[in-house]
Amino acid sequence: MLTPLRRRTDAVRRRRFRRGVYLLPSMFTMASMFCGYACIVYAMRGEFATAAPFIGWAIVADMFDGRIARMTGTESEFGVEFDSMADIISFGIAPAILSFAWGLAPLGRLGWAVGFVFVAAAAIRLARFNIQTASPSQDKRYFVGMPSPAAAGVPAATVYFYPSGFNSYSEALPVLAMVLIPAVLMVSTIRFRGFKTVNLQARHSYAVLVLLAIGLALLVAHTEIVLVVMAYGYLASAFIEMGWHRFNKRQPDLETTKDTKNTKETKAL
């Protein structure tokens, strides 16, 4: 007699567990959204050293929500749309308001206009990313355009490194580059390498772990410097890789030219 009741109880537990698994990625998305909101609140209060790290925590939460959804098989259209809405707040509006309150305010209308450009670029970047993700021909190793979390990390790391801010027009002018360059890169077609396809089971995985340990030690010892280097280093990495590929393409051409010259000289002899 207890068997049907026990089966019903087990079915209820399985449904609750499955519902909890589906909620888990959305909880990380909600955490990312909260971090963006907290950054805005502290930036409006002028507490820049407290506001900037919230964008970093939002980046960490954003890294986990998609991976957890893929690992647990709980990907859904709702999750994709919810993640995009959260990213607009955390990696579009929050860094724009942080940048404006920290250094763009002395520029007046120019300052808030540049902040809006960053928000618009982040929105366009996220919309394009959602379309490209559905395309089977998309190269999973690269992002087309700078990812919005990485772009938001540039002003966040800069503000965290120098939280005092700027109060005069001339001092605030360099802040335009800090906001506009990541904004332009977000909507560009320049390819930035992603980390989803990194193989941690490779032959040299121990070396990767040692480098990771060194990086964590440096991050704890010199947090502000390491974060700035990481943010601007990733920004520059696309151009470095682009130059490297162009240099390697020229090398075979030079070798082919030399072989052709040697062949002609041999025939002449």
Q: What is the DSSP string of 166-192?
A: --SHHHHHHHHHHHHHHHHHHTS--EE
Q: pTM of the entire structure?
A: 0.81
148 inside domain: yes
Q: Which range has the worst mean pLDDT, 15-24, 31-40, 59-68?
A: 15-24
DSSP per position, 6-24 = HHHHHHHHHHHHHHHHHHH
Taking only the tens place, the pLDDT of each residue in 229-240 is: 999 999 999 898
Q: Give the side-chain half-sphere CA count within 13 A for 87.
A: 27
61 inside domain: yes
Provide the residue count of the chain: 269
Tokens of 95: 């860094």
267 inside domain: no
Mean pLDDT across 43-71: 90
Q: Which residues of 33-55 are buried (b: 16+ CB within 10 A; e: fewer)?
A: bbbbbbbbebbeeeebebbbbbb
d(CA 140, CA 192): 11
260 inside domain: no
Judge whether residue 17 has pLDDT over 50: no
d(CA 236, CA 3): 64
Range of the structural domain that residue 167 is part of: 2-201
Say how many domains are in the chain. 1
235 inside domain: no
d(CA 33, CA 38): 9
Taking only the tens place, the pLDDT of each residue in 133-169 is: 666 566 667 788 899 999 999 999 999 999 998 988 9
Taking only the tens place, the pLDDT of each residue in 250-263 is: 665 555 555 555 55
The residues, any chain, with a CB within 8 Å of residue 53's CB and separated by 6 or more, are 156, 160
pLDDT at 234: 93
Beta-sheet pairing, 191-193 with 142-144: antiparallel
159 inside domain: yes
The residues, any chain, with a CB within 8 Å of residue 199's CB and separated by 6 or more, are none
From its phi and psi, is residue 70 left (phi > 0), alpha (psi between -120 and 50) or beta? alpha
d(CA 132, CA 126): 10
141 inside domain: yes
Residue 231: count other Cβ atoms within 10 Å of its Cβ: 23
Q: What is the CATH number of the domain that holds 41?
A: 1.20.120.1760
